[in-house]
Amino acid sequence: QVQLVESGGGVALPGGSLRLSCAASGFTFNISGMHWARQAPGRGLEWVAHIRFEGYNKYYADSVKGRFTISRDNAKNTVYLHLSSLRPEDTAVYYCAKNWFHGFVYGGQGTQVTVSS
Amino acid sequence: QTVVTQEASFSVSPGGTVTLTCALRSGSVSSNNYPSWYQQTPGQTPRTLIFNTTARSSGVPDRFSGSILGNKAALTITGAQAGDESHYYCALYFSSAIWVFGGGTKLTVL
């Protein structure tokens, strides 16, 4: 069973940075693509970023391109999301998910990011 | 900008059948978009229902089915139950390696 534990969220100032982590278990991590998605308060889901299994190919939503960086450590079964130049509209619950047939398999509770002065 | 549209809300009677759709503002949805569907109740993590257009995720009852209807992806729920009252989101994949979620449908069972 896919288990994903997101951490690293918190309160950041506009223009600030955070690094989110997602520890994975229950599946073969090093052959799985991974996503980050988010959900702003009272809003729908938004895809944020994807990283392929090998860690070299990375893709981003236009809303975060140039500000967020996805990475992974296959030795630690962990995927990361570095958030920089944060804006109030980045306030959301951030979920990581396993890629499965170009869909999302969620396995954690998410981590809350709040951008506020 | 790619926009994926879903009905904002829908109602179904207990025991009834409802079909939710997922469309592109410009263009048609096909199996090449690998439509997937998610159920989410407030404050909870989304649950995957359908992936790759028609495949049910493990543990999802066969009351839930996915398909392509015309130029849209569709999620059909048969024998609706009170526990099906939730938000439903679709997601589409595009070959430029981006994914886009629809805005979600709030389903009421009454």
Structure tokens at A7: 């951490």
Is A102 within 8 Å of B46 when comparing Cβ atoms? Answer: no
pLDDT at B96: 80
Contact predicate B65/B73, CB 8 Å: no
Is B91 within 8 Å of A47 when comparing Cβ atoms? Answer: yes
pLDDT at A5: 97
Can you tell me the distance from the alpha carbon of A22 to that of A4, in angstroms, rounded to the nearest whole number?
Answer: 6
* Shortest Cα–Cα distance, A43 to chain B (Å): 8
Can you tell me the distance from the alpha carbon of A61 to that of A35, in angstroms, rounded to the nearest whole number?
Answer: 11
Q: In this predicted model, what pLDDT tens digit does every residue of B71-96 receive, in sequence order?
A: 999 999 999 999 999 999 999 999 88
Q: In this predicted model, what pLDDT tens digit does every residue of A50-68 receive, in sequence order?
A: 999 999 999 999 999 999 9
Is B36 within 8 Å of A104 when comparing Cβ atoms? Answer: yes
Query: Across residues B84-110, what is the average pLDDT?
Result: 96
pLDDT at B108 over 90: yes
Beta strand B9-12 pairing with A111-115: unpaired
* Shortest Cα–Cα distance, B84 to chain A (Å): 18
Task: Output DSSP code: residue B83.
Answer: G
Phi, then psi, of A28 in degrees rounded to 5: -80, 100
Contacts of A59 in chain B (CB under 8 A): 97-98
pLDDT at A91: 98
Is A108 within 8 Å of B45 when comparing Cβ atoms? Answer: yes
- pLDDT > 90 fraction of chain B, expressed in percent and rounded: 95
Contacts of B1 in chain A (CB under 8 A): 62
Q: Measuring CA to CA, how many Å separate B66 from each of A105, B18, B21, B31, B59?
A: 17, 12, 10, 11, 15
pLDDT at B1 over 90: no
Contact predicate B7/B105, CB 8 Å: yes
Contacts of B101 in chain A (CB under 8 A): 37, 44-47
Point out the residue among B91, B100, B103 whose CB comes nearest to the CB of A104: B91
Can you tell me the distance from the alpha carbon of B86 to that of B63, in angstroms, rounded to the nearest whole number?
Answer: 15
Query: Across residues A105-111, what is the average pLDDT?
Result: 94
pLDDT at B48: 97
Closest CA to A71 of A85, A61, A57, A91: A57
* Shortest Cα–Cα distance, B37 to chain A (Å): 8
E-strand stretches of A13-64: 18-25, 34-39, 45-51, 58-60
Query: Across residues A28-40, what is the average pLDDT?
Result: 97
pLDDT at B67: 98
Task: Output DSSP code: residue A28.
Answer: -
* Helix, strand and coil in chain B, % to nearest 5: 5, 50, 45
Query: Across residues A26-43, what is the average pLDDT?
Result: 97
Query: Across residues B20-47, what is the average pLDDT?
Result: 96
Q: What is the mean pLDDT of chain A?
A: 97
Q: In this predicted model, what pLDDT tens digit does every residue of B42-60 receive, in sequence order?
A: 999 999 999 999 999 999 9
